[in-house]
Amino acid sequence: MALLAPSILATDFSNLSQQIRLVELAGADWIHCDIMDGHFVPNITFGPVLVNSAKRSTKMPIDVHLMVEKPDNYLESFIIAGANYITVHQEVVIHLNRIITRIKELGAKAGVAVNPSTPVDFLQDIAEYIDLVLIMSVNPGFGGQSFIPNSLKKIKEAVKLREKLKANFLIEVDGGIDSHNTLSILEAGCDVFVVGTSIFKTDNISAATTELKNLINDY
Ligand code: DX5
Ligand code: ZN
């Protein structure tokens, strides 16, 4: 069964705890935290302090997406803050095997994200060691963007890579997901849907969450 991971980047941070509880009650599975440093991406969001606030608001796993230039420097602080998954970008890490090993040594699950123009095949020599591949279906840095259509091809490539290597990573898709493209993303092979705007920027957060979860469950 695929999972739904609301991205709190799109929340009203003055009501963070209440909005996390809303999506949890409405069927969400994980909470996705977008960490941005203003260098790897042209935006700055939040750090471990806020991740810990999110952790204390829910029983759901915390899925931390590091869109930062030097992820090595932050692994421990995010894991201490409560991260269950830590995903780093392939584009900024020279020693990917070393950082994946470190994340797992620290007790979290390890993910690698690829930007829209980064081939999935760049992960073939790390794929067997990771718990999650994050396919960016928008250019990282901001919520509310449109889904990049060739992401469907990349999701299918990730499925093929997993089969070829007999790996068991989850395939997470992140950016521009809504009720209109959910089924095609599901059919392509997505295991974890990251959704921000289509949940938190709606008139009814609970209903939007339940609608997406039902689409995923009824497939
Ligand atoms: C963008 C983030 C995404 C984004 C998803 O850099 O990684 O998680 O917040 O939000 P929506 O659903 O608004 O595209
Ligand atoms: Zn993200």
pLDDT of residue 99: 98
Locate the DSSP E strands across the chain.
3-6, 31-36, 62-67, 85-89, 109-114, 132-136, 170-174, 192-195
- Name the residues annotated as catalytic: 34, 174
Task: Kindly give the distance from the C-alpha atom of residue 175 to the centroid of ligand 1, in angstroms, as a whole number.
Answer: 4
Q: Would you kindly state where each structural domain of the chain is located, as residue ranges?
A: 3-217
pLDDT of residue 138: 98
38, 82, 149 from 44: Cα distances, Å: 5, 20, 26
Task: Kindly give the distance from the C-alpha atom of residue 219 to the centroid of ligand 2, in angstroms, as a whole number.
Answer: 24
Q: What angle do CA 55, 58, 60 make, to 5 degrees?
A: 90
Q: Which residues of the chain fall short of a pLDDT of 70?
A: none
Superfamily (CATH H level) for 3-217: Aldolase class I (3.20.20.70)
| Ligand 1 cavity residues, CB under 6 Å | 7, 9-10, 32, 34, 65, 67, 138, 140-141, 143-145, 174-177, 194-198
pLDDT of residue 75: 98
pLDDT of residue 170: 98
Q: Which residues partner with 70 through β-bridges?
A: none
pLDDT of residue 132: 98
- Ion ligand 2: residues, CB < 5 A: 34, 65, 174
pLDDT of residue 219: 86
Task: Kindly give the distance from the C-alpha atom of residue 110 to the centroid of ligand 1, in angstroms, as a whole number.
Answer: 19
pLDDT of residue 54: 98
pTM for this entry? 0.98
Atom of ligand 1 nearest to the CA of 147: 14
Maximal C-alpha separation, the chain = 46
